[in-house]
Structure 1
Amino acid sequence: MKRTWYHRMLLSYLPIYLFISSVIILMTFLMISRMSQKEAENANRMFVEQQVEAVDRSLRAIDNMLIKELQFDDVIIKFFKNVNDPTFLLSYSVSEKINQLRSSDPLIDSIYLYRFSDRMVMTPNMLIPSDRFGDREFADGMRDNRSYYTLSEQRRYAEFPDQSNPVEVVSIVRQYPLLGEREGLLVVNVSLQKLQRWLEETAGSDRSYFYIQDKDGHKMAGINRSAGSSKGTEMSRVPSGYTGWIFIGGVLDGHLFQFASVLTYIWLICGFIIVGFLWIMFVTRRNYKPIETILDRIHHYSSQKSSKLTLEKDEFKFIDQALEALIERSQTYQKLHEEDMDIRRRQLFHDLTEGSRIMDREAWTAEASANRLPPGFGQTGFAIFEIDRYAAWTQAYNPKDQYLLKFVLSSVVKETADGRQAGVWSEWIANHRLAVVYFLQETGGETELHSLAEQVRGWVEGNLDFTVTVGLCANTGTIADLPDLRDEAVDALSYKGSVGINKVLLPPYRGGQGEPYKHLQNIRSFTQSFRLQEPKWKEQFTSMFEEIRQDLLNREEHVNLMNFLVYQLNKETSALSAEIVEKWSTVYLPRVSEAIEQYDLMEELQPRLRELFEGLEAEIQALRENRSNSVLARNIRRYIEQNHSNPDLSLNHLCDEFDLNGKYISRMFKEEFGEKLVDYMVHVRIEKSKELLTRTSLSVQEVAQSVGYLHDISFIRAFKKVVGQTPGEYRKQ
């Protein structure tokens, strides 16, 4: 008997053996090559670190020389101190000193002194005003820089404005004196060309490259620095803690790992040998056909049912193709069926809860059976689970995690109901709201519904990183009652902003005691005070929100009040300067609108809005302080507030008091505070009279005299015009 199978298996194992042996040999050579490369990298890094130390040491020596000269050299000190001594001898001495300093270090290209008091610049060649100096822009920039020491970026230096060949330098700048009030600068320009020659003389090589790179990635100097990724291999990158420059070193290609390159060619040949053995293995596999019968049956079936499956040369590919086609078709049918059922079930949910379709028990039983819903029940309840702080929730989780967490919430609702022998039907009616229909027992439905909702709420709080607030219907009913049950749950959930989050809410929450319109006057008063930048606006803001929270208002009423607040702020700020209006409309109005749109609780909205209003207040104050007449306008306003009880207080009185023209005062006050001067006088007097009417027992005539009105008739008329009611009516209220 021939050993056919033995030889075939042996022929199959032989390529594997050769392949593994080749890999082991290759890994050995690669390890040796890697060790050599590591040693080369260490040597190159030591070389680069030496260059870093040498460059830093040279620059530090120059800086130390500057410090010494600025402290002890009489010529330099005399140049900065004796501004009124323009003698030729002093200029010559300073010029000689500069030349002496320049020759003290081979890297220095040029040095100049800049005196702030008369804006004169002393170079090695001349004493000139700064406006005729070629490096004027840099010197003036350093004058505005408050730093005691500066090492500039790579730049071009020219002593004369029309100089055709500026020098590439970096500048070391020290102020004079070293500490205290700045009187001038000493600027030393280090030539990058000299630095280049110095590096070539001290560290030149035809096998490696080395260059210095500034913070922005620009090459400054180096050895063979034109070598890039195509000509050299980078091996070291060392930052300088003193200059902030990056020192980069490597080796030029053609000198690196030549031995490894030879190995590459050798193993390329080995690769072709391995491919040959793989081909032998492939041929051997083709001779093996133990499932020929199965192939024939699949081909026979596919020729009758479909033209997609054709007998391939590779019989395993043919089998795989047939199985994939079968699985894909089955999954497609299943997916279409599930999607169709989801759409029909979602549409049915919408129709029943919106009241566009009414069913009796018999019709529901048939529909429930077709849509995999509980067919029989005693009572029906409705709940809406809303994700708290949804805007922050969407920022915290990506779409995939959001989908997963929503699935978890739906599953918890179902599993909780299954544990109580209650049916459940849930659908997402909004991105942050899960509506749930509960199918309960005949009795005790309301208690059971509240218990189920509370159990889900508690589980989410204890096991997930977010919370939910639940709106429940007050009563249970039948399928036909779902629209009313839904309205009750939505109404209960609308009071979330007043009652709080992470709770189970049941209607009704308000019995008519909450009246949103009574807060409109508080909003008007707050916005007027904010426009006038009165200190009491913060107190009014806090009081306004406290009164709103005391009333159990729903979200729609909260949003309407906040929109009225935005409307009033738009109205009040429109009377201010164009700069303030632009700042409000482009920066703060979108943020306020976003906060109103995304809030969950009024107690969270209040600090957010206060933070925005305080920021706007700071912007307004900064804009006003930049105006020349801002201080005068505030003084006039303060004078009115302090002398409102003076009957003679008028525009003419203010003209005499401040020795200004009446039209100028009125226009300036209007531009500064957005309100006419006369209207502001009346506003101050009426506000003060309100305090007296509510906090004292003074008569109306006495109150009128206390706020600057000689005749109580004039006071009553002005009070009613502003407040909308007489002083007596206001006191009774």
Structure 2
Amino acid sequence: MFRTWYRRLLLSYFPIFLLTVTILIFASFVFINDISRMETQKADRISASYLMDNVDKTIREVELAVLEGVERSDVYKTYFNNTGQPDTASIYEVAQSLRSLIQDSSYIESIYLVDKVNESVLTESGLRELSGYIDEEWIRQITSGPLQEGWQPVRKFKTELPQRTPIRVLTINKAMPLPFGSEGVLVINVKMSGIEQLVDSMVNQQLSFVSILDSDGQTVYEAHSDHAGAVSGKQLNTLRLERLGWTFASGIKAGNLFGWVSVISYLWVAIALGTVICAIFYLVYVTRRNYKPIQVIMNRIEGHQIRMMDQSTDRPDEMMLIDGVLEDLINHMTDYDRKSRENLLLQRSKLFTDLLHSERLDDAIGRLAELSPLTGADATSRFTVVLSEINRYERVFEERYTRGDQNTLKFALMNVFQELARNAELQGWAEWVGTRRVAILFLANGSDEEMTERIRVFAGDCRSWVEQNLRISLSFGIGPAVTGPGAIRESYAAAEYVMQHKLLKNEDIALAESGEARQPLLETYAYLQMIAEFVKQFRMSSGQWREQLERIFEAFEQNFLQDDDIRSLIQAMLQMLSREVAVMSEELQDELSVETARIRLKGLEEAESLEEMKGILLEYLTDLFRTYVSASETKSYRAMVTEMKNYIEENFANPDLSLKHLSDRFQVSGKYASYLFKTEFKMKFVDFVTELRMKEAEQLLAETDYPLQDIALQVGYANAITFGRVFKRVAGITPGDYRLLKRREAGKA
């Protein structure tokens, strides 16, 4: 049923299409919901902020109106300035003023003055004693309790009319007389019913709710007293009124947040369904139209294979059939291209090697025309070989880069050579001829002098570009120009000769001359004699070994030795030196070990000039020479120290034993003798002698009954007083006490 690609396309598209439509609809609902929620929260916050500002403004206006009225009227100051009981006129005027202030504001329940001195309360009705007044408990908290000046929490207030029930008021108290008096207190009671009416008038009970909480989290008031609506609704904002310590919690009642959904008309639903149906029909149409090319391909494949297929078998899957045909075709083309490319690369590399070594040159011109990138080459063409080598290959290139990075950089170098040769209008052919060396074959298109100069400029550009961009140092050897493919070997040999003498050439770009490739035989015997003389001078601690080393390097330069021969002779010199001097000490053995020498002389393998190599070797040999001389001297002074020690142990009882005595005896200075003791025994000469004498004295005191004077003479002291003082300083007790202590220990044993 689903073997045709047409049905598979439909089956693939429809789930994705339906899923996409569903996700878009859901995302639209979520998006609109988020926008609605954010806008609702924003609008609710503005409304709640406006409500809180009105409440704050109302109570502030009440407070300011009363305080301004009290401040403008002098009767309050007269009332509190009376030293005794206030007169009736003053009381009447204050009560009249209080009555007027209450009547001016619909929010004020009552106002009264508390006289702390006379303990009385003056209301709009008259003067009352504080004791027994209906608000006495509250007044006591104000005058001597914990309540501070300012707005207080909501409380129940009893009026003077007994038939009225207590009402909730919001109270503010101010010290009198204003502004900083202390004789009394002004108490203003604001009706909470007025505040509640203000809140109810500004809150739509059908859509939103507002709850007012005090600083303890207790509910002060809920708009319209619809507590169930507040619980079932969603709280969106909380605002704090710092003046009263109230928190306004506002939100939307349940069932109103998504009420906007009801405005969606059925017309829009019909439009959406019509759009989806049209999209389905268009999807079927486009799928059928796009399937026609595949149907044509299938007809051609089936027409070609119909004779090979069994008519009774089921029709194969279309995509499997196309895939099988394409896979066979691709495999055949891939194998053919790979073999052709490999064959071409091998033939090209083989031709390049044959040209450099003059091998199989029967049809060199034809092979050059067919395989090489050089065009126009014939038997009379002039060729030049250039060798490029990566400097410090082991120390820099191999250690810094991984094997994969090395291959990438080598490939990049080949591209750089080709591109720069093209920019210099040179025909060049580059191939790797070793791990670190590239050979470039140039076909001349001008005079020899002109070609040489252009190749030199090309080499300089290559070296600077590669060093700047790839951080790789290169050196170049340029062979002479030769005629015909058969003479390319001579140019290659000359360039290779130059690269084999980089230490002596000391040039990054060296030009070889014709016939320079001949190399005389190395006279090893002469150099070994010079090396033997160098080792002899070194072993005899003679400073002339440096002059002998200079003569060896001068011989290298005069005889124009190859780099490998120079390094081999230096290695032989170090091995011969190691056999002669390493036996002197363990330190010399460590310095001359293979591992240490390899680390210290690592730069020899990567040195780019003979002077650089000589400097590295001279630094290493100078440090080695210091160690060798130090080891030679160490053997002599240790013998002297041992002899001194034996002499002191045998003659410590001699009173004349001193550093001067030792210097006369061993023909050394007293300072040097003291230095030898400090170095070898980690103590002074005097302490060493004193230690020997005290050990002998302790033995004589414990084992003999000799008098102290005799013991002092036997251990090298002229009198018993000096001996006792030294003994006590070392042992901590006197010689007599030490003898008694030892005898007691012997008696107990």
Query: What TM-score do the two structures reach when normalised by structure 1?
Result: 0.42
User: Which is higher, the Rg of structure 1 or of structure 2?
Assistant: 2
